[in-house]
């Protein structure tokens, strides 16, 4: 008799056309047919993202994540925290990306043996074993062209023979014996602004989230401290395990022995809900006239509160209503594209010149006879601002202890748009008006409300 075992039982990789192209079992084999439940859910979902992450089936539970248009479907048999599985699957994807540069079906198929070796090391009996990329890289060397050639000739292998020292030490994330001729440490402060702006340009919500990604190539066992000019800005933070939490709590200093190579040191949230300076504004006017098969489209955008830094890589996209057949628009700069099938309008604006604001104007042709669309589209904006962190976060200094050499240190700031939306002008339900009205007199005749309809 076999008891249902905990943790991850099997893993299936499914591509967007619904084929299983890789499977791995950590315990006894689970038949592929279990994925039929997943395919069912996939069919039901209108968009690939809408497949529910947790699907119960009669004997198993399927927990899946979708990254790079590949579903990673884990099969489990009994109670386990779902986030445990989800987090692990994301870690698997990150590792693949780290190893192969991209995580695509082709890359995985090309490196199927390395993938298998990795999965074997990452889980033992369904329980995560080594997920730290520094340790994995000591166990299984990432494939490079040179190494592939050398291995073919000499018959040597990609597999390390010794237990990674990190596995046993107090700093499991760093391998030992790291040597570089050029010692350098780079930190990228990248902030993303998420905002919802209403038609009149006022902010409904705005949040800044940031990360500090590091690329540290330092010899030996350096002990770094990073301090900020204005650490109070950081409202909520989460750290890479290397950061000494107590030091942060006490002094607001990041003190850590870094992993070797690229890693995310810190992600943070800035607590200034009302003070977020919105760096861009959009004026848009999209109208459809009742009975006419034409609609007008006008959109202008410009910089606002950017602290002198230019807006780059601006990209506007909007999902136009289903009734729109085609558009005839004229961009003052950049290129625009309308996909008549998905109704997705995208306009690659590029750099914004404050002297000459970019605009997109023209007409839309609607389906003949169709009624006027109910709703106006939301406008999504993407942009970048180099050399500036929107929240004003500034790194004060970086010090290194424990090693003698002088490293080269670099800091870069960047701001990006995250989920940045501008809402359409709404016809409205009249809630607002009614609410204001309501607070004056509690029970009034409904006649007024009915008359307006």
- Quote the least distance from Cβ 394 to other proteins, whole Å: 22
Is 40 near other proteins (CB under 8 A)? no
Which residue among 16, 273, 292, 396 contacts other proteins (CB under 8 A)? 273
Which residue's CB is nearer to other proteins, number 127 or number 310?
A: 127
Binding mask 335-364 for other proteins (x = CB under 8 A): ------------------------------
Which residue among 145, 146, 170, 341 contacts other proteins (CB under 8 A)? 170
DSSP 3-state of 243: strand
Q: Which residues, numbered 193-252, are part of the site for other proteins (CB under 8 A)?
A: 194, 196, 204-205, 207, 209, 221, 223, 235-241, 244-247, 249-251
Structure token digits, residue 207: 């949040």
Is 440 near other proteins (CB under 8 A)? no
Q: How many CA atoms lie within 13 A of 114 on its CB side?
A: 24
Is 80 near other proteins (CB under 8 A)? yes
Paired with 414 in beta bridges are 190, 386
From residue 432, alpha-carbon distances to 8, 120, 207, 426, 440 in Å are 50, 58, 25, 12, 13
Which residue's CB is nearer to other proteins, number 178 or number 352?
A: 178
Is 49 near other proteins (CB under 8 A)? yes
Is 423 near other proteins (CB under 8 A)? yes
Q: 317 φ, ψ to 5°?
A: -140, 150
Maximum CA extent, the chain = 91
Which residue among 378, 386, 387, 396 contacts other proteins (CB under 8 A)? 378
Which residue's CB is nearer to other proteins, number 238 or number 330?
A: 238
Considering only the stretches 45-53, 179-187, 324-332, 352-360, report the one whose residues sit in contact with other proteins under the rule CB under 8 A: 45-53
Which residue among 102, 159, 229, 275 contacts other proteins (CB under 8 A)? 159
Which residue among 90, 289, 397, 412 contacts other proteins (CB under 8 A)? 90
Is 315 near other proteins (CB under 8 A)? no
Is 274 near other proteins (CB under 8 A)? no
Is 125 near other proteins (CB under 8 A)? yes
Q: Confirm if 325 and 345 have CB atoms less than 8 A apart.
A: no
Which residue's CB is nearer to other proteins, number 27 or number 351?
A: 27
Rounded CA-CA distance 193/224 in Å is: 29
Considering only the stretches 121-129, 298-306, 360-368, 381-389, report the one whose residues sit in contact with other proteins under the rule CB under 8 A: 121-129
Is 84 near other proteins (CB under 8 A)? yes
Which residue's CB is nearer to other proteins, number 271 or number 365?
A: 271
Q: Confirm if 54 and 81 have CB atoms less than 8 A apart.
A: no
- Quote the least distance from Cβ 356 to other proteins, whole Å: 30
| Strand-strand pairing, 379-386 and 395-401 | unpaired
From residue 290, alpha-carbon distances to 140, 370, 453 in Å are 65, 9, 17
Is 278 near other proteins (CB under 8 A)? no
Instruction: Specify the DSSP element, H or E, that contains 228.
Output: strand 223-228
DSSP 3-state of 171: coil
From residue 293, alpha-carbon distances to 126, 273, 323, 330, 361 in Å are 59, 42, 10, 19, 17
Q: How many CB atoms lie within 10 A of CB 327?
A: 19
Q: How many CA atoms lie within 13 A of 390 on its CB side?
A: 34
Considering only the stretches 150-158, 179-187, 325-333, 353-361, report the one whose residues sit in contact with other proteins under the rule CB under 8 A: 150-158
Residues in Cβ contact with 363 at an 8 Å cutoff, skipping those fewer than 6 apart:
294, 295, 296, 297, 327, 328, 329
- Quote the least distance from Cβ 225 to other proteins, whole Å: 11
- Quote the least distance from Cβ 206 to other proteins, whole Å: 9
Q: Confirm if 424 and 375 have CB atoms less than 8 A apart.
A: yes
């Amino acid at each position: 008799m076999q008891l249902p075992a905990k943790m991850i039982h099997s893993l299936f990789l499914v591509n967007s056309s619904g084929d299983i192209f890789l499977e791995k079992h950590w315990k006894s084999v689970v038949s592929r047919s279990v994925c039929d439940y997943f395919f069912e859910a996939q069919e039901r979902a209108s968009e690939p993202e809408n497949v529910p992450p947790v699907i119960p089936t009669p004997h198993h539970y399927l927990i899946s994540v979708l990254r790079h248009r590949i579903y990673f479907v884990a099969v489990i048999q009994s109670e386990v925290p779902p986030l445990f599985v989800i987090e692990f699957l994301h870690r698997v994807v990150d590792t693949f990306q780290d190893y192969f540069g991209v995580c695509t079906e082709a890359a995985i198929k090309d490196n199927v043996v390395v993938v298998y070796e990795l999965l074997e090391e990452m889980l033992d009996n369904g329980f995560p074993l080594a997920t730290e990329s520094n340790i994995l890289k000591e166990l299984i060397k990432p494939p490079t062209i040179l190494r592939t050639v050398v291995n073919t000739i000499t018959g040597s292998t990609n597999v390390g023979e010794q237990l990674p020292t990190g596995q046993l030490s107090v700093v499991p994330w760093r391998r030992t014996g790291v040597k570089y001729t050029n010692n350098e440490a780079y930190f990228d402060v990248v902030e993303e602004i998420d905002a919802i702006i209403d038609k009149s340009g006022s902010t409904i919500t705005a949040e800044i989230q940031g990360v500090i990604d590091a690329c540290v190539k330092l010899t030996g066992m350096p002990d770094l401290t990073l301090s900020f000019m204005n650490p109070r800005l950081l409202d909520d933070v989460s750290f890479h395990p290397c950061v000494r939490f107590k030091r942060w709590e006490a002094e607001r200093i990041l003190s850590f022995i870094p992993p070797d190579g690229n890693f995310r040191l810190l992600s943070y949230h800035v607590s200034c809900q009302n003070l977020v300076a919105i760096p861009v504004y959009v004026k848009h006017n999209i109208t459809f006239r009742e009975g006419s098969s034409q609609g007008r489209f006008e959109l202008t955008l410009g910089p606002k509160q950017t602290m002198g830094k230019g807006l780059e890589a601006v990209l506007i996209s909007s999902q136009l209503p289903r009734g729109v057949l085609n558009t005839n628009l004229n961009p003052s700069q950049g290129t625009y594209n309308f996909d008549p099938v998905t109704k997705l309008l995208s306009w690659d604006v590029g750099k914004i010149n404050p002297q000459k604001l970019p605009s997109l104007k023209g007409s839309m042709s609607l389906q003949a006879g169709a009624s006027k669309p109910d709703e106006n589209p939301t406008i999504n904006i993407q942009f970048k601002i180099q050399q500036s962190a929107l929240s004003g976060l500034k790194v004060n200094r970086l010090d290194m202890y424990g090693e003698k050499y002088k490293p080269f240190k670099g800091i870069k700031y960047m701001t990006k748009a995250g989920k940045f939306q501008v809402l359409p002008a709404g016809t409205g339900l009249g809630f607002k008006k009614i609410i204001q009205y309501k607070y004056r007199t509690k029970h009034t005749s409904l006649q007024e409300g009915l008359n307006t309809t």
